[in-house]
Structure formats: structure tokens, C-alpha cells
Structure 1
Amino acid sequence: MPDNGVMPSVLPDGEPMPEDGSLPRPALEGAGERPLGFYLHVPYCATRCGYCDFNTYTASELVGKGGVLASRDNYADMVVEEIRLARKVLSGDTRPVRTVFVGGGTPTLLAAADLVRMLAAVREEFGLADDAEVTTEANPESVNPAYLAELREGGFNRVSFGMQSARQHVLKVLDRTHTPGRPEACVAEARAAGFDHVNLDLIYGTPGESDEDWRASLTAAVGAGPDHISAYALIVEEGTQLARRIRRGEVPMTDDDEHADRYLIADEVLGAAGYSWYEVSNWATTEAGRCLHNELYWRGADWWGAGPGAHSHVGGVRWWNVKHPGAYAAALAAGRSPGAGREVLSAEDRRVERILLELRLREGCPLDLLRPAGLSAARGAVGEGLLSEPEFSAGRAVLTLRGRLLADAVVRALVD
């Protein structure tokens, strides 16, 4: 599952999903011991960013099979319908929902009342935990103080703004339409609306970005005063406009060494400002500031993803919805699950995924997940300064700063 619930544009293969969306009985065994979250995908964007490979659509209205409309105006109704389907599928599940995350796309292209209505459906069908975390993503140009106040009044308590950079020329390469300074103003507006938890998303490694540009972005983000900052390396996906521009030589490709340098700068600047890393790409000022919803993904908990292309996971069963909003609307209108396919994870699949995901966290993963070859590799990684020796002695594999730079390689060695 990608960070922040972002939906990829290409769906995996898998076995067919039952029309009623039912799950194998073992999927709910022990459910009471696992937290439950909801991811609500809003696939609409005003414009498509040049680096974007997510399941998003720029048209304000899309028509599906049989003339079924999938417009922004009726989108909340469709999501509410899938939430009701989730209640039927999880009919014996009494867990209140611990986290709700509305992502996209640009969720805040919908009316604030629509986002509140989708949240209300989760609350009505499942109930929310007393300390539930409720987040929406937002583009800086798509909100104003009144909009944020309506979200807060409706039950949202966390907001994540896509800042990406503080430099205009970097934003231009990324095809971001907001102006420098607007994300920082959004943080102040969110605080004034009563949001205790605010995140700014940054991207490093954009073609043409310098170390000075990156430091300026970090400084601006810190100065805005959010309690959470995410910093992701730009991944140039094939088929995107940015990939085509790089291929034509219009902009330079950023190499891995530059990415590593930018990551070290991020950890330095954020650490000095009081932010602590708790996941490879995420820093927070307090434990309460950590994104609990993303931790559901990283810890293999349960979540239901509603919306076109959304992915779900309950008790070792993973499934994904049809990708196109029109097909999604048509399935719900016909009373069918919008699921396109699913897979039942084996015990080995789940072991490997735990290592892949938990190793990214500050707490790391327990050594008893490792087989002999993986344990031997972990000992070697300690010797190379990639894993922390004290934590290894305490029975856990925890990445050092150098290990975070080489996390993918460390993981590959440990899963053997």
C-alpha cells in the first residue's frame, strides 16, 4: 500500500471478487485485536501534475457503462453507498473505526459538506473511536478559512497540504499551480479553524532543484509550524509527462546520490527544528502528531478503501476496486461490489510484508520474523552500520540513518 493511501493507476492481478463483496470467514478471526480504518478515495483533480501516476481524472463529469454518471456532484453518494456495503460485508464486526483518511486526487475539489457527509456515513454505520484520527488531503489553492472551518465542525481533526516545494521554478516543473507561501498560509488557516494536527508534504529530487532550493523548502515548511512533515523522493514513473520531458532532454534527471544528499539535509533540518523521524519519510514533533492512518498500513492492520481503484485489507485478504469512476458507479448502481479482484495472503506473504513495512518504522521489526539467512544478513547489517546494534541486542531490527538511505537493500537482504 503506498504512503498516505495514494492509489496507483495500474491494478494488480488477482482472483475475481464475489459480487456481494463477501470475505472468507477466517478474515475476521481475531478482528477485535486489530484497529480498523477507512480510506476514502476522491479521484478528481483540477489539472494533472506532470509527475503523477495515480488513479485521478481531470474531467468534472465522467459517464460510465449504461450512462451511469460519475460526476463530482454525485460522488459522495457513491462513496456512502460503498460504506453501506462495507457494513453488510463486516456485519459481525463491532470495532469502531480508528482512522479515516480522505485522499486523492484532490478531495477538497468536492464541497466540504460532501466530505463531511462521507465521514458521517462511516460514523453512522460503524461508529468512530473516541480518539479517532480523521484526515483529509488538500491542495493549497482548493481551500479557504470557511472551507476548513466547515471540515473541522464536521469532525475532521487533521489536514495534510501538498506543499512540495517553496520555490516557484520547482513547482513549475512539477506542474503545481499554487504559489509559494500559500501552503504556509494554509497551516495558519487550519490552526485558526481548530485543527491540532497539520501535515505538509514535500518532494525532493525534482529536476533543476538545488540543495539551496531544498533547504529553503524545508525552512519554509518548518516556519509554518505544522506538527508533521513528510518528505518523499520524486519517483519518475513511466508514462507520465515528466518522464517524457526527461527523455526528450528538456529537464535533467536527478540521480540517487542527489536523493541521498537531500534526505540527509531533511533529517538535519527537521531534527534541529524538533521533528523526530518515526517512518523513513515522515517526521513529527510529538507522538500525537504521527499519522495513525498510515501506521495502519505499515503495521498490517485492517482498512476498507472506498472509491475507484481503492485498495483494502482485512485479516490477510487484500482487494482492489475497479479503476474507472464510471465502472465504479455502474457496479454500485447495479447493487454489486465494485471490487475488481482480490488475493488471500499466505502466512509467508504476511511475514514478508511485515518485514518490508515495519522495518521502515522507528521501532523497526522483531528479529523473530527473520529466517536464519535473514538473521545472518541482519548481523552483517549491524556490522556495516545499517542497523542499530543496541536495538539488535534487544531483539529488533532498527535502521540507522545510513540504513534509512539504503532501506530497500536492507529489506531485500532480511526477507531471505
Structure 2
Amino acid sequence: MPGLPPDGEPVPRDGSLPAAALASVGERGFGVYVHVPFCASRCGYCDFNTYTAAELAGGVTRESYADLVLDELRLAARVLDGTAPKARTVFFGGGTPTLLPADDLARILDGVDATFGLAEDAEISTEANPESVDPAYLARLLDAGFTRVSLGMQSAARHVLAVLDRKHSPGRAAQAAVEARETGFGHVNLDLIYGTPGERDEDWAASLDAAVAAGVDHVSAYSLIVEDGTRLAARIRRGELAMPDDDVAADRYLAADATLSAAGLDWYEVSNWARDEAARCRHNLLYWQGGDWWGFGPGAHSHVGGVRWWNVRHPSAYAARLAEGVSPGEGRELLADEDRYLEDVLLRLRIVDGIRVTSLAPPGPEKAARAVADGLLDEEAFAEGIARLTLRGRLLADAVVRDLLPD
């Protein structure tokens, strides 16, 4: 997970949760996140909790990792003690989950099924780097029950990939997406990044066109964020690269929406477009709609019944906690009703379903009416009692949300 967690309070050694949390688990759905912290190399813009083989020399290995996750699954089974419903979604993220053997991902998925059970129509996703999968690997994932693949494309321009320190060739991501579809995956996503220093209008247009031509049913497009402590931030600080420009990023977003909409991919979250409702990422919707999930792996975050906690970040520390038979949780927060309300507004307003105007605390409804007049919220939706962002509102989503929150 990116960034550093808050301080929080200590997690009980046995990982136990308050009775109130156990009583309400899964009321808005329940899912599982599995963090795989390995990367073949570190991208210059990334501040996620990931490690190369050299950084983990003598410590946790890819070969032993599945067993560690299965250990945490056993802890989760003891903590939840049958209170969780079957998992609607399972998402393997990273890092690069597909650096593990496909059989190990399958073994972890079997462990999730044995611990919680999987809903009959469960969405099972994995992230993948384009160079980390081939048709045989994809076929094994499909056979294991995976239903969705999300590939990190970022750009179709060689010089943009070089600035981002991506190792795959410009055409490999689209090729991998085609391979996934031909293998039998019904849902394939391509991740794009816009606003990279040196990216031209035509580079971004070519990236969008390549994603559309790959025939995927989902595209995510994110503005490049320069995170402190990354190689990219250091290069910008030294003057080797220009800082991303907000006006350019806005233009890139408008171009993305126009191209993807014309290709039949409609926005359903500020940074995500899907072919239809079935193609939407249900795991991410679980986050945005305030559901519950258990996050497995070093640095993974979880949320169950209003309790949010996060695991120790380093794989060796994670392994040591599990070897002692104690929770790998480093800290947790018990969210007050006000905290949950603020997060609900923040996240729900980002999705196309929006949020009911009557659920906004005063003076939220009056502020929403002003946002409609300013062209930031959809007038027709507002007439039906829903606050939904317009295209202009999506460009200013953070500001719109802040304005609707209590003073």
C-alpha cells in the first residue's frame, strides 16, 4: 500500500476485534486483498510497499511467501470465527503478484475459499506486469478460478516508459491483454498513467488508442503523482525533469474521457471506465462503497466493522510475527460515526452512482445546490435527489467533496 499509515493504537497480539465489529462484518459486502510485495525492479515513480530480490537478500523469498499468507489466513479464521460472509471479491495486488508461480496464487486462493468461502459469482482479480505473464501462465490462473486480470500498461510511448522506469516494450501490455482475452478471461483491465514529464499530446492519444484496440472491457487512467522519496522526485528536484503540470493533466483527462467514451467505455469512478456494469471492478467498488475486507501480506490494510488496521510493512517483520503466532498488525483505528460519514461522502461522490443529497449533513444539501449551479454536479441527477459529478466536477472532484463536507 502507498504512503505511511497513521499512528493508531496497538493491535491485540491475537488480532481480536471488538464485538460490535464482528456483529456488523459484511453488512456492505466482504472481500479479500492479498498483497504480494515482490517486484523485478523498482519503478521510479512508485512508493508502494514493494521489494526487489536484492532488497530482500537472505530474508523472505517468493518460494516461501504463499505459506506466510496461508498462516495469516488461519489467524483471520480464528479472529472472525465464522462471522464473515462468503467473499464476494478477491484481489491480488502488489508489487507484482504474477512473479509468484501461478500454482502459488492458486494455493492462496484455495486458502481464501477454505477460510471464508467464495460467493458463487465471486470476482477474482490479479494485477500483472505485461512481461510477467504468458498464455500458459494465464491459462493456469483461469483454471484456478481467476476471472479478471489488470495489466500495468502506463504508456505506449517508449520514452515515457523510460522516464517511469518501466521495463516492458511499448506494445507488450496490449499484446498481453489480447492473450488474456484469447485465454478466456472475460474481464481485462489496462492501467494508464498520464502527465509524465516529456509526454506529448500525441503520446497520450497513442496510448489511449492502443488500449482501445486491445479490446479490453476496462481502463484505469491516473494522473502521475510525484511521491516524496522516489527516484522520480529526486530527478525533478535536481532539475533533470519538469514537474507535472496540472493544466496538462486536466487536458489529458478530458482526452481520455472523450476517447474511451467514444469506444463504449463509460466512466463509473473518476479514474475508471468500463464497457458495462459487469466489467466494473467490484473489488474497488467494495472500497468506494464502504464495505469490509481483510488485507493479507506485509503493509496490507484491512477494514472490518468500523475497525481499520494495517500490517507491519517489511516482509521479514511480517514473517517473524506470524512465526510467533501473533497478529502481524502494527496499528489500528476504531472509526467513529463521523469518520465513517466523512469517508462515505469522499468515496461515494467519486462513483457514478453518487450519493443521496438527503444523506449529506447540513449545510451539505445547500452546498450541493450551489455546485449544480456551478456545473460541478449533474442537474438531472440532483432533481432525483442524487449528487453526481459532471465531467467538470470530476476534474475538480477533491474540491467538490471538501465543499460538501461540514465546515
For the aligned pair, the TM-score class normalised by the smaller chain equals over 0.9
1:180-195 → structure 2 map (5 Å cutoff): 180-195=170-185
Pair 1:127 & 2:132 matched: no
Contact 1:106-1:137 at 8 Å conserved across structures = yes
Contact 2:23-2:83 at 8 Å conserved across structures = no
Aligned-residue identity in percent: 66
Question: Which residue is 1:156 aligned to?
Answer: 146
Contact 1:60-1:72 at 8 Å conserved across structures = no
The aligned amino acid for 1:362 is V
Question: Which residue is 2:400 aligned to?
Answer: 410
Pair 1:263 & 2:253 matched: yes
Question: Which residue is 1:39 aligned to?
Answer: 33
Aligned pair partner of 1:24 in 10, 15, 18: 18
Aligned pair partner of 1:175 in 154, 165, 176: 165
- Closer/same/farther in 2, CA of residues 99 and 406 from structure 1, 3 Å limit: same
Pair 1:324 & 2:309 matched: no
Q: Distance in 1 between matches of 2:26 and 2:134?
A: 39
Aligned pair partner of 2:220 in 223, 230, 233: 230
Contact 1:9-1:323 at 8 Å conserved across structures = no
1:264 aligns to what SS in structure 2? helix
- Closer/same/farther in 2, CA of residues 192 and 219 from structure 1, 3 Å limit: same
The aligned amino acid for 1:52 is C
Shift of 1:155: 0.9
Contact 1:96-1:126 at 8 Å conserved across structures = yes
Q: What is the alpha-carbon root mean square deviation over aligned residues? A: 1.2
Unaligned runs of 5+ in 1: 1-6
The alignment's TM-score, normalised by the length of structure 2, stands at 0.98
Q: Distance in 2 between matches of 1:332 and 1:32?
A: 25
Q: Distance in 2 between matches of 1:265 and 1:140?
A: 24
Shift of 1:284: 0.4
Shift of 1:211: 1.1
Aligned pair partner of 2:210 in 220, 231, 241: 220
The aligned amino acid for 1:56 is T
Aligned length: 406
Q: Distance in 2 between matches of 1:313 and 1:352?
A: 15
Shift of 1:395: 1.4
Contact 1:152-1:195 at 8 Å conserved across structures = yes
Question: Which residue is 1:139 aligned to?
Answer: 129
1:99-131 superposed Cα distances (whole Å, 9 cap, x missing partner): 000000011111111111110100111110000
Contact 2:15-2:327 at 8 Å conserved across structures = yes
Q: Distance in 2 between matches of 1:366 and 1:349?
A: 18
Contact 2:27-2:291 at 8 Å conserved across structures = no
Question: Which residue is 1:3 aligned to?
Answer: none
The aligned amino acid for 2:339 is D
1:366-381 → structure 2 map (5 Å cutoff): 366-381=356-371
Contact 2:66-2:105 at 8 Å conserved across structures = yes
The alignment's TM-score, normalised by the length of structure 1, stands at 0.96
Shift of 1:343: 0.4
1:203-352 → structure 2 map (5 Å cutoff): 203-352=193-342
Unaligned runs of 5+ in 2: none
Shift of 1:60: 5.6
Higher deviation after alignment, 21-30 or 166-175: 21-30
1:191 aligns to what SS in structure 2? helix
Shift of 1:184: 1.1
Contact 2:92-2:125 at 8 Å conserved across structures = yes
Pair 1:76 & 2:66 matched: yes
Contact 1:160-1:200 at 8 Å conserved across structures = yes
Contact 1:158-1:195 at 8 Å conserved across structures = yes
Question: Which residue is 1:108 aligned to?
Answer: 98
- Closer/same/farther in 2, CA of residues 99 and 341 from structure 1, 3 Å limit: same
Aligned pair partner of 2:88 in 95, 98, 102: 98
Shift of 1:193: 1.7
1:29 aligns to what SS in structure 2? helix
Pair 1:51 & 2:41 matched: no
1:131-166 superposed Cα distances (whole Å, 9 cap, x missing partner): 000000000011111111111111111000000000
Shift of 1:84: 1.3
Contact 1:304-1:312 at 8 Å conserved across structures = yes
The aligned amino acid for 1:29 is A
1:33 aligns to what SS in structure 2? coil
Contact 2:28-2:289 at 8 Å conserved across structures = no
Shift of 1:376: 2.0
The aligned amino acid for 1:43 is P
Contact 1:38-1:101 at 8 Å conserved across structures = yes
Q: Distance in 2 between matches of 1:245 and 1:185?
A: 31
Q: Distance in 1 between matches of 2:382 and 2:187?
A: 33
